[in-house]
Structure 1
Amino acid sequence: MNFLTIIAVAVCVLAPSAYCESSTVEWCFHDPKCSDSTWSTIAALYCNGTRQSPINIVSANATENQNLTEFTFEGYGNKSALATIENTGDTVKVNFYTGVKISGGGLSESYDTLQAHLHWGNGTAAPGSEHTVDGKRFPMELHIVNIKSSYNRNTTLAVKDSEGLAALGFFIEELTGVDDQPASWKTLTSYLSNISNAGDNKTMAEDISLDDLLSGVNRANYYRYLGSLTTPVCNEAVVWTVFKEPIKVSKNLIDLFSTSMYIKNSTSLMVNVYRSIQPSQPVSTQPKASSSTKSGYSLALMTFALMMARY
């Protein structure tokens, strides 16, 4: 049996009592007694709420929002920003040093980047992204978790704010080719052999950056909705950004996560570590370029070409 125990901090903040101060929520992905089908009962305050994550994003239903501008990523190119990598018993998590943050992207203020973690199924054969798009589930999903800078990394305050956290979701799909690419993911997965068991952690060398891991992704195109954490206690405090373009990673590297990581207090491999789809939420995205804008751009190019032809 694999019980992953967390202190239900948010519950205690909102309903303090002597009992609450010592209470815990036992949850897991693998055992029917504590899997996500039970979370709405064992962590009822939020996990059965009205804006839960993840969701299936129906692309045709996403409304246009001109405020969804490009992000500014600070420290994402810093190869010394990744501090440690660990096996938490239910995922692989990377912790960051201070100085990494995001702003723009329609967010109300800057957000400090705290950590990144992954969700997966069972290799490329059994996809395990949390979000889906038009019903499609990807092999893996990377979540980068950020907190409002004004909270000075105090997550207790952040989870009381409906937009206290900002999560960046990146799909990961199989790269079809003969080489193990990109090199950054080969470097990242090289740490997995050192963190096979729950509780294992490893200090990371200054060899990759977040920009390296996100290479090839157009970060100007994304979906936006208000949701929750995807594990108990499922606080509804997250501004979700799900990027449209996936990260491309070779099959053998994707498969490493489901063949080399073990869950807590068990000899079972860590597979299918994702929450099932929750009821839909309103989703927005960037406006499409209007036909008049495209026509004007094309006309300008033709005019320029004619002028150049005279010389």
Structure 2
Amino acid sequence: MIVLLVTCLAAILCPTAHSSDSAVAWCYHEPACNFTTWPKIVSDFCSGSKQSPIDIVTAKVQANSNLTSFNFTGFGDNTTFLAITNSGDSVVVKLDDSTMTVDGGNLPGMYNSVQFHLHWGNGSSAPGSEHTVDGKQFPMELHIVNVHSKYNGNVSSAIASNDTTGLAVLSFFIEGTNDTSNTKSWKTLTSYLSNVTNAGDTTTDIMNQITMDSLLGNVDRTKYYRYQGSLTTPSCNEVVIWTVFKDTIKVSHELISLFSTTVYFKKTSLPVQITNNFRGVQSVNGRVVTSQVAGTVTSTVPSSAAATNFCIITVLLFSSSSWL
């Protein structure tokens, strides 16, 4: 029953689903359906004016004193990771949305955390993140997808409503490190990749093994960028409050590379490993990116205070008849 439920959720929340307005499947790796074609083959929203991801130009970031610390509930609980699935375009971890919530950080209410997924390139040294900062693209990006509590965990309803506050995605850049002393949780997470090599594969053995806090490590979750945008996969609905954290998660090069060598895209004529599963940056179209201090980039050296007290910190990361 759990596997069936997760499979259904994956169809709603992950980039495997196809847009309802097109019979053409979207993809990342084939010229006929990669992200450059989405505005044509999924025309309803993918050609909109508030699309994601974007390049964050720090010199244009404006200060917003309302961007305070977040409150995280359940991020230190090791019972919240329910299953891991190969969606056919990403690796998605289903979260217990009755336990994990986010509020604060100038979000308009409480949000339930439903899943997180990742975007990557082709190896630990290749560009793979969706968002960029001053043109810099990181090897990976993690998205935690949260749905406003008024939708009772129903992401489809939030998307269908075209409510610009329906989803709040917390985004974290990931970059490689030679230091393997603090990557235990990532080693545990990547150990499950061999169980989900093919599209649709799911395992629930992940329960009671990892916490969200442990994956986020020493990231200072009080420093972030904020803007209004969209899902980063079709149908690209513009229903997302984006939070992009300034500090990066440090993961060993070896573990980052496992994503591009272990799991495979949804069926094509020949098996193809999932690589470069990111959408290119979209036009800002006059949108304003805000932060605590305009135009600043913080050091990636984490704040120990922020790392030790998840109750006063934060996070960013999927859905629709597709997802981010």
User: Normalising to structure 2: TM-score of the pair?
Assistant: 0.81
Matched AA of 1:213: L
* Uncovered stretches (5+) of structure 2, i.e. residues with no partner: 1-14, 295-324
Distance of 2:273 and 2:16 partners within structure 1: 18
Matched AA of 1:52: Q
> What's the offset of the Cα at 1:157?
2.6
Matched AA of 1:191: Y
Which of the numbers 288, 291, 300 marks the counterpart of 1:285? 291
Identity %: 51
CA contact (8 A) 1:87 1:93 kept: yes
Per-residue CA deviation, residues 259-309 of structure 1 (Å, 9 max, x unaligned), is 111111141111000000100231000137xxxxxxxxxxxxxxxxxxxxx
Distance of 2:261 and 2:108 partners within structure 1: 40
Per-residue CA deviation, residues 141-179 of structure 1 (Å, 9 max, x unaligned), is 0000000001101223312201100000000001133x3
> What's the offset of the Cα at 1:25?
5.1
Distance of 1:274 and 1:118 partners within structure 2: 9
CA contact (8 A) 2:80 2:207 kept: no
CA contact (8 A) 1:141 1:172 kept: yes
Which of the numbers 174, 177, 182 marks the counterpart of 2:176? 174
Which residue is equivalent to 1:163?
A: 165
CA contact (8 A) 1:71 1:105 kept: yes
CA contact (8 A) 2:16 2:88 kept: no
Distance of 2:76 and 2:61 partners within structure 1: 31
Superposed counterparts of 1:67-216, under 5 Å: 67-97=66-96, 98-159=98-159, 160-177=162-179, 179=180, 181-203=182-204, 204-216=206-218
Q: How many residues align?
A: 272
Q: In structure 2, do the counterparts of structure 1 residues 88 and 180 end up closer, same or farther at CA, with 3 Å as the change threshold?
A: farther
Distance of 2:127 and 2:282 partners within structure 1: 17
Distance of 1:153 and 1:111 partners within structure 2: 9
CA contact (8 A) 1:5 1:25 kept: no
* Uncovered stretches (5+) of structure 1, i.e. residues with no partner: 12-22, 289-311
Per-residue CA deviation, residues 100-151 of structure 1 (Å, 9 max, x unaligned), is 1100011010000010000000012311000000110000000000000011
> What's the offset of the Cα at 1:235?
0.3
Superposed counterparts of 1:60-71, under 5 Å: 60-71=59-70
Q: CA RMSD in A?
A: 1.4
Distance of 2:72 and 2:124 partners within structure 1: 30
SS, match of residue 199 in structure 2: coil
Matched AA of 1:270: I
- Say yes or no: does 1:271 pair with 2:275: yes
**Larger Rg over CA atoms:** 1
Moved runs in structure 1, 4+ residues, more than 3 A?
none
User: Normalising to structure 1: TM-score of the pair?
Assistant: 0.85
CA contact (8 A) 2:16 2:87 kept: no
- Say yes or no: does 1:6 pair with 2:17: yes
Which residue is equivalent to 1:29?
A: 28
Which residue is equivalent to 1:217?
A: 219
> What's the offset of the Cα at 1:205?
2.8
CA contact (8 A) 1:5 1:24 kept: no
> What's the offset of the Cα at 1:181?
3.5
Distance of 1:249 and 1:5 partners within structure 2: 26
